[in-house]
Structures are given as structure tokens and as C-alpha cells.
Structure 1
Amino acid sequence: MTQPLIAIYGATGHTGRLVAAELHARGQAMVLAGRDPAALEAMAAEYGARAHHAPLDDPAALRGLAESAAVLIHCAGPFSITGEPVASAAAEAGCHYIDHAVEPHHVKHLFDALQAPAQHTGATMIPSLSFYGGLGDLLAAAVAGGMTGIDRVTVAYAVSGWRLTTGALATARQLFAETRRIGFTDGALRVGYVEPRNAVFAFPPPLGPRTMIAPVPFPEALTIPRHIPARNVEAMLTARTFEEEGVFESEHVTPATRARTDFTVAVQAITEHGGRAGHLTGHDLWRAGALASVEGALRLAGGDVPAKGGVLSAAEVFPAEPFLRTLEGLGAFTVTL
């Protein structure tokens, strides 16, 4: 029986290389794709894989990539630019799709525009199955599953030592300048200008209370309400994260330097009568995101898919706590529920 092929778009970038290394370590057949043919050929020789040159303005090349694979993991941001052509090719070809997007408007576009095509071809598409967005979605489902009367779900990220790649830096600049922010308040999705504020979130020890930027424009406002009946959903990020020296001058640091991050992701689900909380802690957010997308892709390639295809959040496709526990076993982080 032929092993299903997993394609990586943006394979030569930092996240793409982490994904490729993990798939290779598991003996998974893969095709390395992107926009730099020389870099792709060199990397393909290193891994004994196939290279596929597919510029974003070449629909035939992107469609050929999607038709050759069982699952496509998209790692090349910013997704406001790269997302639509790659995701559309996957939806049209019936290729399962995962991406590392943090941009809410890209995620909303997939839910709005590609739901019908993906359902028609049977493709399961999971945007933002990465550190930001995907882990918050899964952790929220693990914390709040089965609860009713939820007033607020808060996803709080405490991150130190973050070193941005070129794509992440472009994404950050875009999100900072965004005036049409997507939020979920009073039981409805809302798009418009939101004045950021400083808030305080009480992380579990040893972090304790931290000053936060709230809200941050992450995908949880889109994904969590799909499976948790909350009136309000908000994501926050420690203000200190972007105040650290070197965070915006880190495009060309070594992979070892980029790996030196510390993080805690915490979720609170609050009702009139109390609530629940949970968190995960770890190091190297890039590797945690890569492991999440690889685990999801391998499950999709193995047939662990919904009966009907379509665009879904991570927690709509996979049982949240078991998925997180699997990542914990792989060394991505430690889970406390």
C-alpha cells in the first residue's frame, strides 16, 4: 500500500523546516514546495524528498501540488498574501489542508469562501493549527467542553524570548495596523475598530498577574465560538513580549536562538456561578506549532477526518484533550487541566 504523501508549502522557511524534520523523523513521505527552486532542490536532496516549485501566481502548479498530496501543510506567511491561492488549490483538489495562519481575516475568508468547495470535494481544512490560534482553540475546548451559560472565554498568552521570522514580522506589522478587527462580543461576530487596552491577567504561579495587550487580533474570536457557547471570546498577549530587546530585529538569528522562547497559554471560561481554567507551559513556540500541524496532518492522512469535509477549527476535528496530551507526550509542552 502506497504511503499517503504530505506536502509542505513554504518548506524552506523556519516553520517549514521544523515540519519537514518532524515528518522525516517519523518516516513520512513528503513533497517540499514553495517559491525558491534552488533552495527546494537542495533541501529535497537532504531529505530524500521531492521538490515542487509552485509560485503563488501559478494556479496550475499549486493545483498540481494539491492533487499530488493527501494533506498540504501551509507554512509560508504572511497568509493575507499567500493563503488564498494555496488554500483554494487544496479545496478544489480535495486535498486536506492545515496552515499556520494567525491573521483573522484570512481565517474568516476560508470559513466564508471555501466551505462549500471543500465540502464538495471532501477536503478537511483546518486554518491556524499552530501555536497562536490553534493551541488556544484546543485548550479552550478542553477547559470549557460541556459547560453552559458561559459569559466569557479568555485565552491569554505569556511569551518571552520570541524572535520573529521575516514572515512573522510582516504579519505583526499588518496586525498592528489593522483597523477592521474581528471580535466576538455579546454573542455575535463583530468587525470594526477596537481600541486596544491594557489589562491584567492572573496566570498560574510562578508567573502570576501580568500586564496584557487586550484584545489581540488572533483567530480565537472566529474559531472558539464554533464549538463553545460563550457570549464573549477574547485573546490577550503579555505586553512585555514586544518590549523585549531584539524582538523586531531577529529575522536572521540562528534556529537555536529562535528556539529559546518560554511560553504559557492559559484559558479561563467564566460563568455566573464560577468557571474553569487550564494552561500549558513550554519552550520553543515554533516547535510547538510545528508539532501541532504535523500531528494534525498525520491524523488526516490516516483517515481521521469528519464524515463531511469543510473548513473547521482544530477542536471541531480532533478531540481536544487527547490531542493536547499527544503533543505533551512529544515534548511540545506540559498540560494542566
Structure 2
Amino acid sequence: MKNTIAVYGAYGHTGKFIVAQLYKLGYKLMLSGRDHEKLTDLKKQYPNSEIKAADIEDSEALDNAFSDAKIIINCAGPFLDTATPVIQSALRLGIHYIDLSAEQKSVLDIFEQFSEQAKNDKIIIIPAAAFYGGLGDLLSTAVTQDWNQIDEINIYIGLDSWHPTKGTRLTGDRNHYKRLTFKDKKLLEFQSGPTTKWNFKNPIGTKEVVGLPLSEIITISRHLNVNSINTYLSQNSLDDLRNENTPEPKPTDEKNRSSQQFSVEVLAKNGKTERTITAQGQDIYAVTSPLVVEAVNRILSGKIKNTGVTVMGEIFDAADFLRSLDTDDIVISDIEESELN
């Protein structure tokens, strides 16, 4: 392929997964970030790629790094700090933008600041295209695709463990904003509630879950006609995240994935009808790569529904997108429907 893809934060944990998959598909790569030494080391693995270091506060350096690209993938969190300057560069250059944000405030800021210009310039800006944000949005959109309105969407995320990266910890330290939930078609400040139990089936099993709204609350509420959205995370994974002694993820296979297993189950209700869809796989950081790379493929091939600031479930055919993913990366269940008493 002749299309150049710029990856900012290319040497980060998730960035490396994305770079590897793009390289395997034959894309020309522009690898960027703030650390020239790390970029130089990464280039040794991808000799046909280019590298250009650029500080987030240096607009000229950012423009120089991205100038030949068709799409910028921003993998450098915290996105509260990096999203705005990278998007500003994308808009100056007329380039599409994708990021991996789990931070609600970052996603909201992107919609508020850039929607008008991106729409006028026909530039695609997709925040939160990762495991958190993008996957839940795609699943929710697919399971409700023929419903004009939705009473409730509940997303249950089960991890057998969570070994957070340095980037995850930095984001947690930086993100001091209050979390938002979605109720009665409004974004409201989240009030923590009691834990409950959810059966994720194998390989996760039954886990205690706790309400924890992340960026999928924002992405889903932007385009689906839904009354309420709730997201839950298994308590054990949250305990791992909060434990400062939990180590970083370690590679265990040829794709450099950790052994972590995940299950995401979306339950949607409309009147007396209830539907569920499940996604299962290995390594929440690694699975972000096929999601983002498929988004790149579809943007470049014109398989899009709109431009401007948008989200994964809105711009793409969600059901077709999920079907296209390799089952070695993620397994998507059939939609199950039942009638409530």
C-alpha cells in the first residue's frame, strides 16, 4: 500500500501492537513521538519506516512529522494532554485522526472543540477507538441496529486480571475529572453504587462487578437513541489496577500478547425485548490494534457513513465491522434475543 499512516506514541505498549499490524499489511509508516531514542530503537524492527520526533507542544514539529500521512493514530496518552495539539495539526494538514482515549473528558472536549471545523473540512476524527470506548460502542450499535429507540444498554467488562501499563497509570493520575453516566437521555455525574455479580462464563466465570463509566458512555450516547447506559467492570481487575505493586503486562505468545483474558457482554433492552452480544479474547491492549487497523482500512477504502468528529459505531457498519475481525484476535458471539416476563 502507498498510503502513509502516522503513529504518534509508536513506541508505547499499545502503539507497538498497532505498528506491527500496519507494517504486516504493507502500510508505509511514519513513526513519531516525543523520544527520539525510542523511535530509533523501534525503526530497527521496521527498517522501511520513517521516524520523526515531535514534542506535543511544538506545532511545527508535529506538522512536519505528519505532513505526508493520510491518517494519524494517536497512541500517546494521557489524551487530555495530547489529543488537542495532535488534532489541531491534523486539521491544519487536512489529515484524518484516530485515538485510543478511555478518558471521558477528552472525548467530550474533542466533540466540543472540533466538530464544526472537522465537518466543514470533511476530516474524520474518531476518539476512543480502543478496547474501552470503541469496542463497547460497536457491540452496542450492532445489537440494536434495527431499533429506533433503546430503553437501556448495560455493558459488563470482565478481566481475569489487569496488569496496567505505565501509560494506563499515568492516565489514571492525570484524569481527576468526575465520571459521568447516562440516564434519562442526559449525562449526569456518576454516583458509585454497590457491587453485584455477573456470570461471564468461561474463561472469566462469575465475578463481582462495580459501576465504572469510561469513554463508551460518551461514544454510545452521541449517536444511539438510548435512555440509559451503564457500564460495569470486574472488581478483581480494578483491584489489580489500584495496587501499585501490580506488574506491567508481559508477552506470552508470538503476537507479544499477555495471558490476560477478557469478556465484554452488552445487554440491551427495548420494551419487553432483551438482546445480548459478547466479545471475548486475549489482552485488552493488543486487541485495540485490530480495531484501529480495521478502522484505517475502512476509512481508506471509503467504507464510512459520515465525516467530522464521530465514533466507531456511528461511522462504520458495526455488525459488518465486527464480522471482519480475525477470531484469533477476538471472538464475537451471535446476537441472542429473549422476551422478558
Q: Would the TM-score normalized by the shorter structure come out above 0.5?
A: yes
Structure 2 match to 1:23: 22
What is the Cα deviation at residue 85 of structure 1? 1.1
Aligned-partner Cα distance in 1 for 2:193–2:35: 38
Between 1:109-118 and 1:131-140, the stretch displaced more is: 109-118
Query: 2:10 aligns to what SS in structure 1?
Result: coil
Alpha-carbon spacing, 1:132–1:253, altered in 2? closer, same or farther (3 Å): closer
Structure 2 match to 1:40: 39
Query: Is the 1:119–1:310 contact (alpha carbons within 8 Å) kept by the matching residues of 2?
Result: yes
Aligned-partner Cα distance in 2 for 1:118–1:97: 10
Between 1:71-80 and 1:181-190, the stretch displaced more is: 181-190
Structure 1 match to 2:230: 234
Structure 2 match to 1:321: 319
Aligned-partner Cα distance in 2 for 1:183–1:60: 38
- Give the counterpart letter for 2:186 in structure 1: A
1:224 alignment partner, one of 206, 220, 238: 220
- Give the counterpart letter for 2:297 in structure 1: L
What is the Cα deviation at residue 274 of structure 1? 2.5
Deviations 1:201-226 (A, max 9, x none): 34356655432111x13112211123
Query: Is the 1:186–1:231 contact (alpha carbons within 8 Å) kept by the matching residues of 2?
Result: yes
Query: 2:67 aligns to what SS in structure 1?
Result: helix
Structure 1 match to 2:76: 76
Query: Is the 2:203–2:261 contact (alpha carbons within 8 Å) kept by the matching residues of 1?
Result: no
Specify every segment of 5 or more residues in structure 2 that has no aligned partner in the other structure, as ranges: 335-341
Structure 2 match to 1:56: 56
Aligned-partner Cα distance in 2 for 1:209–1:245: 19
Deviations 1:104-157 (A, max 9, x none): 000011111111121232211111111111100000011111124422101110
Structure 2 match to 1:100: 100
What is the Cα deviation at residue 251 of structure 1? 5.7
Query: 2:73 aligns to what SS in structure 1?
Result: strand
Between 1:249-258 and 1:319-328, the stretch displaced more is: 249-258
What is the Cα deviation at residue 248 of structure 1? 3.8
Aligned-partner Cα distance in 1 for 2:251–2:242: 15
What is the Cα deviation at residue 293 of structure 1? 0.7
Deviations 1:143-172 (A, max 9, x none): 111124422101110012321111111223
Structure 2 match to 1:5: 4
1:309 aligns with 2:307: yes
Structure 2 match to 1:268: 267
1:249 aligns with 2:245: yes
Q: Which structure shows the bigger proportion of residues in helix conformation?
A: 1
Query: Is the 1:159–1:261 contact (alpha carbons within 8 Å) kept by the matching residues of 2?
Result: yes
Aligned-partner Cα distance in 2 for 1:169–1:248: 9
Q: Please list, as runs of the form range in 1=range in 2, the aligned pairs for 1:124-203 lying within 5 A after superposition.
A: 124-175=124-175, 177-178=176-177, 180-190=178-188, 192=189, 194-203=191-200
- Give the counterpart letter for 1:38 in structure 2: E
Aligned-partner Cα distance in 2 for 1:298–1:226: 23
Specify every segment of 5 or more residues in structure 1 that has no aligned partner in the other structure, as ranges: none
Between 1:195-204 and 1:311-320, the stretch displaced more is: 195-204
Query: Is the 2:159–2:204 contact (alpha carbons within 8 Å) kept by the matching residues of 1?
Result: no
Alpha-carbon spacing, 1:239–1:174, altered in 2? closer, same or farther (3 Å): farther
Aligned-partner Cα distance in 1 for 2:182–2:157: 18
Alpha-carbon spacing, 1:4–1:109, altered in 2? closer, same or farther (3 Å): same
Alpha-carbon spacing, 1:311–1:245, altered in 2? closer, same or farther (3 Å): closer
What is the Cα deviation at residue 244 of structure 1? 4.1
1:287 aligns with 2:286: yes
Structure 2 match to 1:14: 13
Query: 1:131 aligns to what SS in structure 2?
Result: coil
Query: Is the 1:259–1:285 contact (alpha carbons within 8 Å) kept by the matching residues of 2?
Result: no
Query: 1:259 aligns to what SS in structure 2?
Result: coil
Number of residues of Structure 1 aligned to a counterpart in Structure 2: 330
What is the Cα deviation at residue 18 of structure 1? 0.8
What is the Cα deviation at residue 258 of structure 1? 6.0
What is the Cα deviation at residue 102 of structure 1? 0.2
Alpha-carbon spacing, 1:12–1:269, altered in 2? closer, same or farther (3 Å): same
Query: 2:101 aligns to what SS in structure 1?
Result: coil
Query: Is the 2:102–2:128 contact (alpha carbons within 8 Å) kept by the matching residues of 1?
Result: yes
Deviations 1:27-73 (A, max 9, x none): 11110000011211222232021001110110111123333210111
Alpha-carbon spacing, 1:120–1:201, altered in 2? closer, same or farther (3 Å): same
Query: 2:102 aligns to what SS in structure 1?
Result: coil
Structure 1 match to 2:208: 211
What is the Cα deviation at residue 299 of structure 1? 2.0
Aligned-partner Cα distance in 2 for 1:173–1:157: 22
Query: Is the 2:160–2:204 contact (alpha carbons within 8 Å) kept by the matching residues of 1?
Result: no
What is the Cα deviation at residue 20 of structure 1? 0.8
Query: Is the 1:80–1:106 contact (alpha carbons within 8 Å) kept by the matching residues of 2?
Result: yes
Aligned-partner Cα distance in 2 for 1:209–1:314: 29
